[in-house]
Chain A
Amino acid sequence: MSIAIETRGLTKRFGGLVALDGVDLQAAAGETLGIIGVNGAGKTTLMNCICGLYRPDGGDVFISGERVTGQPPHVVAHKGIGRTFQVPRVFRKMSLIDNLLVPVLDHRASDAELTERAEGMLARMQLIDLRHNYAEELSGGQQKLLEMARMLMPDPPIVMLDEPFAGVHPVLCKFMIERIEEMSGAGKAVLLISHDLTSIYRLSTRVVALNQGKVIAEGGVDDIRGNPAVIEAYLGT
């Protein structure tokens, strides 16, 4: 299997705080890599460094073998990576359709083709009836679905999901889990962040546990489940 995304020694400091401390990870196409850790472990920071929003203080990010460290986010996005956010960041005063068109504005396909694709995507996310509404008119859970749809529009080979289940109704959670399974089923490398272990254990092929910016454990779901370091990080000493 080819490595879709890789970080080597990724380090990020905020003043004196070391948010990421030499993080190494890899995810292959079709693989779902779960990233767990308590609040403040550095999960979101990891994503922000990968997609270029933050410039890491050390280490490197590779997408399909190509080094993208320090590139601006729009360049990194075009290497084939999409993401969602812990707190949804939709384009509030744009229609759902227009929200979906944003990541594909520089695609060659005609407006009509792209609109049709966007409508198909919205239908899959059960948002089609709201397609002309402004994104700000959606509920929090619906905004998370909209973000997923928007992320999938350019069909990126790598996707990163930041706490997709946080604050989401159980029925919607189940729906989202199915969509995420579809993504890895379609051969995408999925980086899945959650502090909720149940959903991670269900979806992930492998898990990386972060604590205070460091990888404290890595392996299959069963290895992680019983790992004393993970249990200690979660339950405290």
Chain B
Amino acid sequence: MMPVSSRPQDSADRIYFTLVALIGGALMIYFALVPVFGLNVAFHFYLMLWITMASAFNVSSGFSGYLPFGYVAFYGIGAFTTAILVKKAAFPVFLALPFSGVAGLVLALLFAPTLRLSGIYFGIVSLALAGICRLVITNMPEEITGGSFGLQLGSRAHPVQSFYVMMAVMVVALATILWLSRSRLGKALRATRDDADAAEMMGINVPRVRLYGWMIAAFFPAVCGGVEAWYTNVVDTETAFNTLITAKTVIYAVAGGLGTVTGPIIGAVAMVWLDELIWRQFPLLNLLILGVATVALVLFLPRGIVGSILRRKPQWRRYVP
């Protein structure tokens, strides 16, 4: 038996972990049953993908204070890594996917010097670097990248298997971010985000902490790119490096609220549903309406759904993951 303690912190923790278990459990059971009950696998596959992307992005922007406008670079590099390894090196998909993650980490290391920039300068350089990644891949020999036709993975497609792999990736990503949000590294990151010089003078090794956060933020989109390549069975530079991927990731994360674990999850769920609804009702106007909805959201809930609630209810901050 654990000793029963009446410290308020412990009861806050109890509520926190109950919420984690409830939300996490509900998410997992729901998604696990999607193929079983013949629900829309494609829709839910992408829902999980966007939850993962928005959550990983949150590590960079919400926890660390960086806005990488070229976030899609990690996704694209991951997509091509899996596609090339599977198609050209005859790797089994399950072996190729971890290499996508590694490719994301390597790219994060290559981009690490840009972490010295801040604000809009970092964002613009990040956008330019994503463009360069895309150019490099576009100009690689066709025998490797498939040129403008892209790479077809052929008979490897397996929607249900890839669905569950996506689910595993999402669960690992969320668990990592949940850990991060309570860990000492997470506190160091937040301090660095709020005032890097002050954090440094309090003994935080700022460049190192930033690099760790950056690598976590890069790893998951790269794996997502790989899983999506497997799921759709085709990869080309046009879609794998599409700026809309960054835009959606940012919008979903911001809609839910940066800085909390639940924010990007709720943001992605709300916005992907909204997108789907609008698309079904108004197939021609869906981008316009989605744009208006996004603008309205930013105007009325500038801190996102979760962020705005916690602003009004500061006493809930301790309980909400």
A-side residues, CB < 8 A to B, are 51-53, 72-74, 76-78, 82-83, 85, 89-95, 98-99, 101-103, 105-106, 111, 115, 132-134, 137, 150, 154
Apart from A102-B191, A106-B184, list 19 A-B contacts with CB within 8 A.
A51-B201, A72-B200, A74-B202, A74-B203, A74-B204, A74-B206, A83-B201, A89-B198, A90-B194, A90-B195, A91-B191, A91-B199, A94-B190, A95-B317, A98-B187, A103-B202, A105-B187, A111-B184, A133-B314
Question: Would you call B201 and A77 a contact (CB within 8 A)?
Answer: yes
Interface assignment of B88: CB less than 8 Å from any CB of chain A: no
Question: Is B200 in contact with A74, judged by CB distance below 8 angstroms?
Answer: yes
Chain A, Cβ-Cβ closest to B184? A105
CA gap between A107 and B200 in the complex, in Å: 16
- The 8 Å CB contact of A93, one of B184, B203, B259, is B259
Once A74-B206, A77-B202, A132-B317 are accepted as A-B contacts, the answer to whether A98 and B190 lie under 8 Å apart by CB is yes
Q: Is the CB of A78 within 8 A of B203?
A: yes
Number of A-B contacts (CB under 8 A): 81
In the complex, how many residues of chain B place their beta carbon closer than 8 angstroms to a beta carbon of chain A?
A: 24
What residues on B are CB-neighbors of A90 within 8 Å? 194-195, 198
Interface residue? B318 (CB, 8 A): yes
B190, A93: Cβ atoms under 8 Å? yes
Provide the residues of chain A in CB contact with B199, threshold 8 Å: 91, 102
Can you identify 8 A-B contacts, CB atoms within 8 angstroms? A52-B201, A91-B195, A91-B198, A93-B194, A93-B259, A94-B190, A102-B204, A105-B203
A94-B194, A105-B184 given; A132·B200 CB < 8 A? no
Q: Is the CB of A89 within 8 A of B314?
A: no
B281 within 8 A of A: no
Cross-chain contact of A73 among B190, B201, B317 (Cβ < 8 A): B201
Closest residue to A136 on the B side, CB-wise?
Answer: B194
Q: Which residues of B contact A91 (CB under 8 A)?
A: 190-191, 194-195, 198-199
Nearest-Cβ distance from residue B135 to partner chain A, whole angstroms: 36
| Chain B residues at the A interface, C-beta cutoff of 8 Å | 9, 184, 187-188, 190-191, 193-195, 197-206, 259, 314-315, 317-318
Q: Which residue of A lies closest to B204 (CB)?
A: A74
B198 touches A77 (CB 8 A): no
Q: Given A74-B203, A103-B203 in contact, is the A115-B9 Cβ separation under 8 Å?
A: yes
Q: A76 vs B9: C-alpha distance in the bound complex, in angstroms?
A: 33
Q: Once the chains bind, are B203 and A154 in contact (CB under 8 Å)?
A: yes
A93, B204: Cα distance in complex, Å = 17
Please, how many angstroms separate the alpha-carbon atoms of A72 and B197 in the complex? 11
Q: How far is the CA of A111 from the CA of B202 in the complex (A)?
A: 18
A51, B203: Cα distance in complex, Å: 10
Give the chain B neighbours of A73 by CB distance below 8 A: 197, 200-201
A102 surroundings in chain B (CB, below 8 A):
187-188, 191, 199, 202, 204
A98 to B193 Cα, complex, angstroms: 13
Give Cα distance in the complex from A101 to B204, angstroms.
Answer: 11
Smallest CB gap from A83: residue in B? B201
Residues of B contacting A134 with CB < 8 Å? 314
Contacts of B205 in A (CB 8 A): 72, 74
Residues of B within 8 A of A101 (CB): 184, 187
Instruction: Report whether A53 and B197 are in contact in the complex, using a CB–CB cutoff of 8 Å.
Output: yes
Contacts of B206 in A (CB 8 A): 74
B138 to chain A, nearest CB (A): 40
- A137 CB to closest chain B CB, in angstroms? 8
From the candidates B188, B198, B317, name the one contacting A85 in the complex (CB within 8 A): B198
User: Which residues of chain A are near B200, meaning CB under 8 Å?
Assistant: 53, 72-74, 77
Q: Which residue of A lies closest to B201 (CB)?
A: A73
Contacts of B184 in A (CB 8 A): 101, 105-106, 111
Cα–Cα, bound, A76→B202 (Å):
9
Which of A52, A137, A150 is the one whose CB lies under 8 Å from B202?
A: A150
Instruction: State the Cβ distance, A88 to closest chain B Cβ, in Å.
Output: 9
Give the CA-CA distance A22 to B146 in the complex, in Å.
Answer: 66
How many angstroms between the C-alpha atoms of A220 and B110 in the bound complex? 56
Cα of A105 to Cα of B318 in the assembled complex, Å: 19
Most buried by B among A76, A102, A106: A102
B113 CB to nearest chain A CB (Å): 17
Q: Is the CB of A94 within 8 A of B317?
A: no
Select B314's contact among A51, A72, A98, A132, beta carbons within 8 Å.
A132
Docked Cα-Cα span, A101 to B317, in Å, equals 17
